[in-house]
Amino acid sequence: MAGADVLSVYFPRFLLVLLRSSVFFAFLPILGSASLPGRFRIGLAIAIAALLTPIVDFRAAEDDVAILVLREVVLGMALGLAVRFVFYGIEIAGQMMSDSMGMSIATVFNPEIGQTTEISQLLAIMTTLLFLSTDAHHDLIAIFVRSYDVLPAGASDVGALVREAITLVSRIFVIAVKMAAPVVIGMVTLNIMLGFLVKATPQINIFFISFPLFIGIGFLILLMALPVYLAAIGGSFGEIRSEMTRVIGLAGR
């Protein structure tokens, strides 16, 4: 009977912890990557929930199961988006760079967001390696675990979370524009210069000249701006921590 009593107490807690944690970890880089086998991701989510259930300060602030589940899912998605908005912005920036350099035709299938370019893949790999090397994933997991101390199950404000998610989506495009600006501005300047060249010497085959120039100068600008990109990406990881803390604070009002 004692074993049945323990199971009846901890199993509902385990399911609710699994609900929030599985949604959150589905957004994490590497651990939540769609390129990983589905069985591995499911097993990882169950293992993490089993580890967290005995140690988190679990409290339920809602009796209605449907509302409780909805609030936990929305909270997990908001926390996950607070982690991934930087990665989505960088991948969109790579797409914008490729478009301006004329390399959009060289697309590959990315299981995360569909068709992407090689530059997007390069920036995404660089960001992921920097993310792991700075040990940022451990800090984010620690912030997530502390969310149970601030937000009991079913206590989150769904309206505030939805508004914050919309704000994070808008910040994705802000990051993309800032990251792509050096290459895009360089390509626009090169287009203007080539336009003057065509007017001065119409007999030049501008299409034969422009494509190698766009690719070569685009990569040159990207290489020169690489230290700035690394510094900006490293600083954005601090924004991820502050955004997760902000989401938890807004949800608790």
Secondary structure string (H, E, C) spanning 183-198? HHHHHHHHHHHHHHHH
State the amino acid at position 168 in one-letter form: L
pLDDT at 108: 58
Q: Which of 128, 112, 130, 118 is nearest to 34 (CA)?
A: 112
Task: Specify the number of domains making up the chain.
Answer: 1
pLDDT at 1: 43
**Rounded to two decimals, what is the model's pTM?**
0.79
Query: Are the beta carbons of 103 and 215 closer than 8 angstroms?
Result: yes
Q: Going residue by residue through the chain, which has 253 residues, state the pLDDT in tens, using 9 for 90 and above.
A: 445 555 666 777 788 888 888 888 888 777 777 777 778 888 888 888 888 877 776 666 556 677 778 888 888 888 888 888 888 888 888 888 888 887 766 565 555 555 667 788 888 888 888 888 887 778 888 888 888 777 777 777 778 888 888 888 888 888 888 888 889 999 899 888 888 888 887 777 777 777 888 888 888 998 888 888 888 888 888 788 888 888 888 776 6
What string of H, E and C letters represents the secondary structure of the chain? CHHHHHHHHHHHHHHHHHHHHHHHHHHCCCCCCCCCCHHHHHHHHHHHHHHHCCCCCCCECCCCHHHHHHHHHHHHHHHHHHHHHHHHHHHHHHHHHHHHHCCCCCEEEECCCEEEEHHHHHHHHHHHHHHHHCCHHHHHHHHHHHHHHHCCECCCCHHHHHHHHHHHHHHHHHHHHHHHHHHHHHHHHHHHHHHHHHHHCCCCCHHHHHHHHHHHHHHHHHHHCHHHHHHHHHHHHHHHHHHHHHHHHHHCC
Residue 83: how many other CB atoms lie within 10 Å: 27
As given in the structure block, the two tokens for residue 120 are 């997007």
Q: Which of 117, 128, 100 is nearest to 28 (CA)?
A: 128
- Tell me which residue range forms the domain holding 23: 2-251
